[in-house]
Amino acid sequence: MVELSGGEIVIQSLKDEGVEYVFGYPGGCVLHIYDAIFKQQDVKHVLVRHEQGATHAADGYARSSGKPGVVLVTSGPGATNAVTGIATAYMDSIPMVVITGQVPRPVIGTDAFQEVDTVGITRPCVKHNFLVKEVADIAETMKKAFFLATSGRPGPVVVDIPKDITDPNVKVPYQYPAEVNMRSYKPTVSGNIGQTRKAIKLIQAAKRPVVYSGGGVVLGEASEELTQLCHTLNLPITQTLMGLGAFPGTDVQSIGMLGMHGTYEANMAMHDSDLIIAIGARFDDRVTGKIADFCPHAKIIHIDVDPASISKTITVDVPIVGQVKPILLDMLAQLESLDETFDRNRIGDWWNQIEEWRAVDCMAYDKESDIIKPQYVIEQLYKVTNGEAFVTSDVGQHQMFAAQYYPFDKPRRWINSGGLGTMGFGLPAAMGVKFANPDADVACVTGEGSIQMCLQELSTMLQYDTPVKVVNLNNGYLGMVRQWQEFTYKSRYSHSYMEALPDFKKLAEAYGHVGMQITKKEDVEPALREAFALKDRTVFMDFLTDKEENVYPMIESGKAHNDMVMAPNSKYKRVLA
Amino acid sequence: MSRQHIISVLLENESGALSCVAGLFSARAYNIESLTVAPTQDPTLSRLTLVTVGTEETIEQIKKQLNKLIDVVKLVDLSESFSLERELALLKVKKNDIIAKKIEDLSADSLALITDETDGFLVIELVGEKVWLDDFLASIKDEIIEVVRTGVIGLSRGERSLTL
Ligand SMILES: Cc1ncc(C[n+]2csc(CCOP(=O)(O)OP(=O)(O)O)c2C)c(N)n1
Ligand SMILES: [Mg+2]
C-alpha cells in the first residue's frame, strides 16, 4: 500500500473520486494541501477571487453537469466567506463537497488565529459535516462526503481538516475505499408499488389533472420519463422555477411556470384542478401562495426522494417516497400493461378551459415601446442563442424575466438560486458552467445590483479563459425591491435606488473583457449577435432598460393562486375568479 | 390537539451528533421539554430520549426531520405504544418532620429515598413518572432548597425494542 501524507490523501481522494476541478482559495491552514496540489496535474485548481465565488462556481459546475462541485478554502474567514454559497447549494439540493482548513488540533478551542467553529457555523446549511481528527480517517471521510453529497436528496457536505493532520512528514498507508456503508443512512430508491398503483387509479379517474414538477426531476435525471408520462397521458404540466427545462418549455402541453410570478394559465389550472401530480417539487411558499386556499378541489399525489418533504406544509393523499426516475419508470410500465389504452380526449374539456386561460396572453408586454424592455432583451437572447444556451441568473426582476421569456427545452440549462435567492450567484455560477461545458454558449442574466456582489470573478474568468456573455438588465434600481415598494408601500422607494453606478463597459474592459453599452432598442439584437460571435471572449453587455417595468403576473404574498395582479395593459386587470 | 410525545433515538456516538439534534429543534422552532443522552452498551451508539409537545403533524415532521439527520440510526415514538417512563430527581431540603412524614406516606409504587443526611440537610432521591414528580415536588414546594431532574427516559413494554 502507498504511504501518503494527509495533504496528499486529500488530493489523491479527489483524484480517485474522478474530480476534475477544485474551486478554491489558499491560506495558512490549507498550505500543506496546496503543496500537494502543486505536485500533481490531474486535479485542476481554479483560483477564484473570493470564496463565495468558489462555492457558486462549484455549484454552477454541479448544476450543469450533474457531477458534484468541489471547493477548497482555508479556515476562519475562508470558511465564513464560503457559507453563503454552501447555504445556496443546500436550499437547492446541489451536490457539493467543501473542504475547509482548520487550525491544528492542539489549538482548537483556544481562539487561535483564523479559528472559527466551521462545523458549528455550517451545520444548519449542510446535508452533513465532518471534523476529521486523524490522518488515517481522511480517505474514508472523503468517501463518505461524496457519497452523502450525491445520493438520496443531494446537498453540500463540509469536511473540516485540521492543519496538523495534513503534515507532509506524517505518512500513513492510503487506500481509497471502494464503497461506503453507513448504518444510519439508507436513502430510499424505488417507490412503493401499491402507492404507484393508487396514483395511476387517481390519474385515470381525474377530470382536471395537472402535473406540477420541480427541481427533483432535474436532479434525479428523470426528464425523459417525465416527458413520456405527460405525453402518454396528455397531461398539462407546470414547472417550478427550479424545474424549468425538465419538460420542454416549448411543448404545447407546457403551461409555464407556476407560483408568485407564474403564468395565468398555470396558476388557474392549479386552483381548479381535481388532481395535482407533484413530482420532485416541495410545495415552496413561493409556489403555494396562501396555504389555506391551495388547490382547494384537488387530491394530491407527491413523488419525492425526501420523506421529510412529504406533507410538510401541504397534506398529500398519495405520497410516494423514492427516486423520481425509477418511480416514473414503474408508472410508465404499469400504464403500458393496462388493458384499456388511455383516451387522450378524455380530458378534452379541461384542455379547452386551459386554452381559454392561455388566450389571456398573460405575458404580453408593451412591444411598441421605444425604450428597451427587459422582456424584449430576453426574447432576443432566446432568438440569438436558438434557445440552446446555458443561462444562469442572479436574483431579482431579471431572474423572473429570464425564467418567463426564455423557454428551456432541456434540463440543466437554467441555473439560478431558487431557494436561498442569492444575489451574486449568477456570474461565478456561469463560470462554473463553462468549466463543465467548454463548448456551449453560456449567458449570465443579471442586474446592476446583483452583478456587483461577485463582480470580482471577472478576473478569474480572464485567467482561466471561460468566455461568458453577461446580459446586464440595468434598470438602475434594485428592481424587485422597488416593485414590492410600489405595490405595498405606495411607491416609497426606500433605498432601492442605486446611485453612483459604475460605467460597466469600462469596468469590463478594465478586467480585460469586451464591454458594450446598449441604449437603443434597435441595437439589442445586433449587440447580442456580435457578442455571441466573439466565441472566445467574455462580453459584458450593459442594457439600459425601462427603469420601472414590473414582473407580471404577480400573486402577492399571502394571496391565492386565482388572485393574480396582471399587467396594467393586459385584457384583465386584477383577476379574481 | 397538542400532545406530549416521548421519542427515543439511537444516535451515532460522534462528536457533533447531539448538536445536530439540538440544532434541529431550535432551527425549526420545535420545542423540547427535556432531553437526556448517554452511551449504550454498544459504545458506538448513544441513546437519546426527548420529550416534546406538538400536534400530530408537528410530531410527524419532527420524526421525519430527526430521521433525516445522518447520525440518527433509528428512532421510536414511545407514546405510540404501551411503554414505561421514568424520571429521577434529587432534591435538597432542611430536615424536618413534614418531609419525613411525606416520604413515609408515599405509596409503594413510587420510589423515594433519603440518600444523604449532612449537617441537618437531606438529599432525597425520587424516581417516578414525570407527572407524579411534578405533583410531589409541587406539594412540598416551600420546603425545597434545590432540585435537579434528569428528564424523562422510557422503554416500550413486552417484545418491542429499539435496537439495531
Ligand atoms: C444577497 C442578497 N441580498 C438582498 C437580497 C434581496 N433582493 C432580492 S431582489 C433584489 C434586487 C436586485 O436588484 P438587481 O440585481 O438590480 O435586479 P433587478 O430586480 O433590478 O432586476 C434584492 C436587493 C437578495 N436576494 N440577496
Ligand atoms: Mg436592477
**pLDDT tens profile A63-79:** 999 999 999 999 999 99
Is the torsion defined by CA of A79, A82, A88, A93 positive or negative?
negative
| Centroid of ligand 1 to alpha carbon of A313 (angstroms) | 27
Nearest chain B CA: its distance from A333 CA (Å) = 30
The answer to whether position B90 is within a domain reads: yes
pLDDT at A571: 62
**Average pLDDT, integer, range B119-147:** 93
| DSSP reduced 3-state for A59 | helix
Q: Does A184 touch chain B (CB under 8 A)?
A: yes
Q: Are B7 and B75 part of one and the same domain?
A: yes
Final residue belonging to a domain, choices B39, B65, B80: B80
Beta carbons within 8 Å of A374's beta carbon, 6+ residues apart: A397, A398, A401, A473, A475, A543, A545, A546, A549
The Cα A144–Cα A380 span in angstroms is 45
Which has the closest alpha carbon to A48: A421, A553, A429?
Answer: A429
| pLDDT value of position A172 | 98
Report the pLDDT averaged over residues A160-175.
Answer: 98
Inter-chain residue contact B16 with A123, CB threshold 8 Å: yes
Residue of B nearest to A306 (CA): B68
Look at residues B49, B80, B111 and tell me which one is the last residue of a structural domain.
Answer: B80
Q: What is the pLDDT of residue A547?
A: 96
In a shared domain, residues B37 and B63: yes
Q: Across-strand partners of A435?
A: none
Q: Region B14-27: what's the mean pLDDT?
A: 94
d(CA A67, CA A61): 8
In a domain, B162, yes or no: no
Phi, psi of A252 (to 5 degrees): -60, -25
- The residue-averaged pLDDT of B126-134 equals 93
| Mutation to test the A interface, candidates B11, B62, B70, most A Cβ within 10 Å | B70
* CA-CA-CA-CA dihedral for A379, A383, A389, A393, to nearest 10: -10
Strand order of the β-sheet with B45-54 is: B34-39, B45-54, B3-12, B72-77
Query: For the residues B95-124, what does the mean pLDDT come to?
Result: 85
Provide the pLDDT confidence category of residue A340 given band limits of 50, 70 and 90.
Answer: confident
Terminal alpha carbon distance of chain B: 33
Per-residue confidence band for B107, with pLDDT thresholds at 50, 70 and 90? low
Average pLDDT over residues A181-192: 93
CATH code, domain carrying B142: 3.30.70.1150
Bridge partners for A238 per DSSP: A212
Q: Mean pLDDT, to the nearest integer, of A366-373?
A: 93
Q: Locate the ligand 1 atom nearest the alpha carbon of residue A478 and give its number.
A: 13
Residues 6+ apart with CB under 8 A from A366: A373, A569
- Alpha helices, DSSP H, located in chain B: 17-27, 56-68, 97-105, 130-139
* pLDDT above 60: residue B135: yes
Say whether both B75 and B98 belong to one domain: no
pLDDT higher than 60, residue A572: no
pLDDT at A576 over 50: no
B143 part of a folded domain? yes
pLDDT at B108: 62
Same domain, B90 and B145: yes
What's the average model confidence in pLDDT over A311-332? 96
Where does a domain end: B27, B50, B80? B80
* For ligand 1, mutation pick of A450, A499, A501, A557 (most atoms within 8 Å of CB): A450
Given a contact cutoff of 8 angstroms between Cβ atoms, the answer to whether A402 and A394 are in contact is no
Residue nearest atom 5 in ligand 1 by C-alpha distance: A423
- Chain B, residues 67-96, CB within 8 A of chain A, namely 67-68, 70-73
CB of residue A474 inside a 6 A radius of ligand 1: no
Percent of chain A exceeding pLDDT 90 equals 94
Ligand 1 atom with the smallest distance to the CA of A453 is: 1
Asked if the model's pLDDT at residue B109 lies above 70, the reply is no
Same domain? B88 vs B56? no
Asked, for residue B164, whether it belongs to a domain, the answer is no
The reported pLDDT for the residue numbered B104 is 79
Mean pLDDT of chain A: 96
Among A123, A310, A311, select the one facing B19 at the smallest CB separation.
A123
Residue B147 is part of which domain span? 84-154
Closest by CA position to A430, among listed A418, A446, A419? A446
Question: For A81-117, what is each residue's pLDDT tens digit?
Answer: 999 999 999 999 999 999 999 999 999 999 999 999 9
Same domain, yes or no: B68 and B122: no
How many structural domains comprise chain B?
Answer: 2
B125 inside domain: yes
Render pLDDT for A119-135 as a digit per residue (tens, 0 to 9). 999 999 999 999 999 99
Using one digit for the tens of pLDDT, what is the confidence trace for A453-478?
999 999 999 999 999 999 999 999 99
On whether both B74 and B126 belong to a single domain, the answer is no
CA distance A307 to chain B (A): 7
SS (H, E, C) A63-75: HHHCCCEEEEECC
* Same domain as B110, residue B140: yes
pLDDT surpasses 50 at A450: yes
* Chain A CB within 8 Å of residue B159 CB: no
Look at residue A21 in the predicted model and tell me its pLDDT.
98
pLDDT score recorded for residue A530? 98
Which ligand is nearest to the Cα of residue A426, counting in written order? 1
Q: Does residue B17 fall inside a structural domain?
A: yes
- B161 is a domain residue: no
SS3 label, residue A159: strand
- Whether B15 maps to a domain, the answer reads yes
- The answer to whether residues B46 and B91 belong to one domain is no
Q: Is the ipTM of this complex over 0.90?
A: yes
| Band (A577; pLDDT cuts 50, 70, 90) | very low
Percent of chain A residues past pLDDT 70, beyond the cut:
99
CB atoms within 10 A of CB A367: 10
pLDDT digits (tens, 9 = 90+) for A27-77: 999 999 999 999 999 999 999 999 999 999 999 999 999 999 999 999 999
Residue A338 φ then ψ, to 5°: -70, 150
Whether B58 and B98 share a structural domain: no
User: B76 and B90 share a domain?
Assistant: no
Given a cut of 50, whether residue A563 has pLDDT beyond it is: yes
Q: Which residues of A are catalytic?
A: 51, 113-114, 163, 480
Angle at A217 between CA A213 and CA A220, to 5 degrees: 160
Query: Looking at residue B37, which CATH number applies to its domain?
Result: 3.30.70.260
Alpha-carbon span B145 to B29, nearest angstrom: 33
Residues B97 and B60 in one domain: no
Angstrom distances, CA of residue A486 to CA of A83, A480, A482, A495, A496: 32, 10, 6, 13, 11
Cβ-based neighbours of B121, under 8 Å, separated by 6 or more: B92, B93, B94, B95, B145
